[in-house]
Amino acid sequence: MKLRQIFFATTLSLGLLLSPSAAFAKAKIQIAILLDSSNSMDGLIDQTRTQLWEIVNALTSVTKDGEIPELEVALYHYGNDHLPSQEGFLTLLNGFTSELDLVSEKLFSIDTNGGQEYAGWVINSALKELNWSAEDENFRVIFIAGNEPFDQGPVDWKDSVETAANRDILVNTIYCGNPESEDRTFWVSGAQAGQGDHFNINHNRTVTFIESPYDADIALWNQRLNETYIPYGIEGEIGQERQQVEDANAGTNIASRGASKASGYYRNASWDLVDALDEERVQLAELTDADLPEAMQGMTLAQKREYVAQRQEERARIQAILRDLNQKRADYVAQQTQANSEGEDTLDSVTIQALRQQLTAKGFEFQ
């Protein structure tokens, strides 16, 4: 059992109020994703929806000072006539959150529509509106993707990108268009000024899902994993339903999502009692029956602690099974991919490439 799990089980059984987060300071990875949602960007949005979990999975082996860091993701979309013109045709879908189901939900809420694509404005908004960490050892990055000139709009892209660089927030630019287009020029310059990387992708490429002999088992254990979650409070039913909806949204990609849910990055403290106690969001003794699911109502405090501990132990067991299945699946897919090599010009491949290089430069390690 991992050190943090042992700590949690011990403090829970003793009724202590300390949490692993209080005892172990953890580094943080903050990723802001800024997506062009104009008419021509349906492919980009679809790639992001299906490849979110692949990107998360690529980070599951990352550590800093021997600990798995916290992962927070924020999401904007811009360049859409449905969005307020006075706000630069952009909107913040979610601020930095560790609850990845919420990010997935927001991705599936995006409708594309023609508009003015103000890259400088949306970067500036992300810098001002998001709760960026002030700790130097943490990793902060913006990924902005689009296919129109980077210099559109009343907010100077140079000012926005230089402000980010001065705050040690990297800016990676992803141009979704003809690599020979003149429109690409400032996208390259934006990455250079933002001390990040520039990429060109085929946003209309349909990512081929490679079936494996392990997919059915992963789907089965994923559903069993869901049964270890304990909804509590006003967000309980909402969060539990969201979990099921995003499983359905994953479709054939449920194997990739299942792997993410078996990682330390899949956290749901706003609605799941196990995660909430782990992060010291709540105190079990202060929750009323009305805050708890029917199965826990009427229990003594000792019984509640035992019930939560059992769910936590079962979750850890299932996650270990899922990690083993995912490793077997990954090995199988790697062989198939090598045999049927395709160009690495999709959103997940360039994002993972950038994160590997930039996190390593920041002192994070890939195990």
User: For residue 319, is pLDDT > 60?
Assistant: yes
pLDDT at 210: 86
- Residue 66: strand, helix, or coil: coil
Segment 102-118 mean pLDDT: 93
Per-residue pLDDT of 277-288, as tens digits, reads: 999 999 999 999
Taking every pair of C-alpha atoms in the chain, what is the biggest distance, in angstroms?
69
Distance between CA 228 and CA 318 in Å, rounded? 9
Considering the chain, what percentage of its residues have pLDDT values greater than 90? 80
Average per-residue pLDDT for the chain: 90
User: For residue 343, is pLDDT > 60?
Assistant: no
Dihedral angle sign, alpha carbons of residues 316, 318, 321, 325:
negative
User: For residue 208, is pLDDT > 90?
Assistant: no
DSSP H/E element including 146: strand 139-146
Segment 117-128 mean pLDDT: 97
pLDDT at 23: 46
Top-confidence residue, 35 or 367: 35
Contact yes or no for 27/66 (Cβ under 8 A): no
Per-residue pLDDT of 34-66, as tens digits, reads: 999 998 899 999 999 989 999 999 999 999 999
Q: In what order do the strands lie in the sheet containing 90-97?
A: 90-97, 70-78, 28-36, 139-146, 170-175, 195-200
Segment 176-193 mean pLDDT: 94
Per-residue pLDDT of 258-317, as tens digits, reads: 999 999 999 999 999 999 999 999 999 999 999 999 999 999 999 999 999 999 999 999
The pTM of this model reads: 0.90
Helix axes 215-226, 301-339, angle to 10 degrees: 160
pLDDT band at 129 (very low <50, low <70, confident <90, very high): very high
Helix axes 42-58, 347-361, angle to 10 degrees: 40
Contact yes or no for 196/141 (Cβ under 8 A): yes
DSSP H/E element including 10: helix 3-14
